[in-house]
Amino acid sequence: DDASDRAPQPEPSGPILEHTVKLLDGTDKSLTDYRGKALLVVNTASECGYTPQYADLQQLYAKYKDRGLEVLAFPSNDFGGQEPGSPAQIRQFVDSKYQVEFEMFDKVAIKGPDKAPLYETLTEQTPDGIRGEVKWNFTKFLVDPQGRVVKRFESAVSPTSPEVIAAIEAVLPAA
């Protein structure tokens, strides 16, 4: 039995990719579809002081989507009640105001007893420096192409700041 005859084992994937979530239109989306891509997972809101970060997120996505970056936006009404809208209202808002092209997911709980399983993984099953409750809208988690969370950026850090750009460029899949 020659070892070279055996099929290569798939890359082990981090726990992030094991989740299935709902898109804004209500359809299921398996995060395994994003295996091999760098992900920026962001909890968003339409009525927050940080809402203009949608424009920065779109700018990032436009710049890096062809190099393997996906931005995954999860609206949440958990912080200051700043995302009261229905999925249709959220879609209309991001399309009309920010021309968002990245993936928008259904509204989720980011904290508390109904916390979405994805956010349990992001905030509880991650290394020191990343682990911990989300404090506000537009907290950003950077996930490498293997599905491991490698960085966390708090709300006030712009998606287009040099530190975020450098972190993204460090985990983009090899061209």
Positions marked active-site: 48
DSSP H helices, the chain, are 53-64, 87-98, 117-124, 162-171
* Antiparallel, parallel or unpaired: β 140-143 and 38-44: antiparallel
* Beta-sheet pairing, 103-104 with 69-75: parallel
Q: How many CA atoms lie within 13 A of 37 on its CB side?
A: 19
Burial grade of 113 (CB within 10 A; 0-12, 13-18, 19 or more): exposed
Cβ contact 143:14 at 8 Å: yes
Closest C-alpha among 136, 110, 138 to residue 54: 138
Q: 54: which residues sit within 8 A by CB, 6+ positions away? A: 44, 73, 94, 97, 98, 100
